[in-house]
Amino acid sequence: MATNNVMAKAGKVLDMMGCLHESLTPSAKRIADFVLANPADVTKLSIAELSQAVNAGEATIIRFCRTLGFKGFQDFKMELAIELSNANQNEKSILDTDVTPEDTAELIGQKLHNTINNVLAETYNLLDFQMLEQVANAIQSCRAVYFFGVGSSGVTAEDAKNKLMRIGFNVDALSNNHLMYMKASLLQPGDVAIGISHSGTSEETTKALRLAKEAGACTASITHNPRSPIAEYSDYVLVNGNRQGKLQGDSIGTKISQLFVLDLIYALLVKQDLAGTQANKMKTMSALDYS
């Protein structure tokens, strides 16, 4: 599994801190929160100054940096400075503020537009594209692929089912926990099970993926937290973004980022068999033509 190898890189430091936030210790969360709120200031602080600001020992700060994959605090600061220097600080998202009574429909539309751009950029930063290709390869050669998800993630699972069915895959999506458990327990080697859970803590989806893995299926998850419970039962973990304002909660930003990952998988599957997928899509389109 790749969950223990998640490491931040230049240009991805802030996004990676965000996706790992829930798996950090309380002291590490304090450090992450301070860095996320004051990234430019942190690049100018000594480790002693940061220690005082976050009420954590210097050794704790070093462990925090190593958790993210850096050698130490200086390495972390350097990569953070590179990221900030490459970012346009004058284009801070207006979604840092919530909707106000004075907002016009046009301004709210701009806020929605910005949050979609932001969450797509974050997802692009967090995705392991080599792993994405491995998931597409597993689906390409599988006997059947099943998507599991509850709530809004269940809706996303149905969308994925619809897209893959159109190009000829043996696919299903389940969002009822009892049905998920029964189907997962009956999977076999050669099947692929993909769990969708933004938080990675959905008990139903995690159990379904565990049962699928125990049955011998290849498993993957789409989640914002690569060290969450669902990742423990995933052969492949695809990380989606979460950069959104209070306006969105876990609504449009989450949905768009999940769909982006699934559309990338869809595009890779089409690329692997252009003629076959095109022929299957024409057949399914023809079947829906009632004229």
Give 174-195 pLDDT, tens digit per residue: 999 999 999 999 999 999 999 9
- At residue 122, the pLDDT reads 86
Cα torsion 141, 155, 266, 133: sign: negative
- At residue 251, the pLDDT reads 61
- At residue 274, the pLDDT reads 93
Which among 136, 162, 172, 145 has a CA at the least distance from the CA of 261? 136
Which token pair is 14? Answer: 């802030």
Q: Let me know if residue 147 belongs to a domain.
A: yes
| 151 and 235 fall within a common domain | yes
- Count of the separate structural domains present in the chain: 2
Distances (CA, A) of 271 to 140, 166, 267, 275, 288: 11, 15, 6, 9, 24
Q: Let me know if residue 123 belongs to a domain.
A: no
C-alpha 146/C-alpha 185 separation (Å) is: 12
| 159 and 281 fall within a common domain | yes
Low-confidence ranges of the chain (pLDDT < 50): 1-5, 10, 89-96, 246-249, 291
- At residue 176, the pLDDT reads 97
| 161 and 81 fall within a common domain | no
| 41 and 168 fall within a common domain | no
Which token pair is 137? Answer: 């390869």
Q: Provide the CATH number for the domain around residue 230.
A: 3.40.50.10490
- At residue 3, the pLDDT reads 40
Domain with 268, as residue range(s), is: 129-287
| 133 and 74 fall within a common domain | no
C-alpha 115/C-alpha 129 separation (Å) is: 23
Which token pair is 203? Answer: 């008990």
Degrees (nearest 5) of the Cα angle 19, 209, 3?
Answer: 35
| 258 and 155 fall within a common domain | yes
- At residue 252, the pLDDT reads 77
> Of 86, 109, 143, at which residue does a domain stop?
86
Which token pair is 199? Answer: 């938080």
Q: Taking the model in full, what pTM does it have?
A: 0.79
Give 38-47 pLDDT, tens digit per residue: 988 999 999 9
Q: Let me know if residue 180 belongs to a domain.
A: yes
Max CA distance (Å), the chain: 73
Q: Let me know if residue 228 belongs to a domain.
A: yes
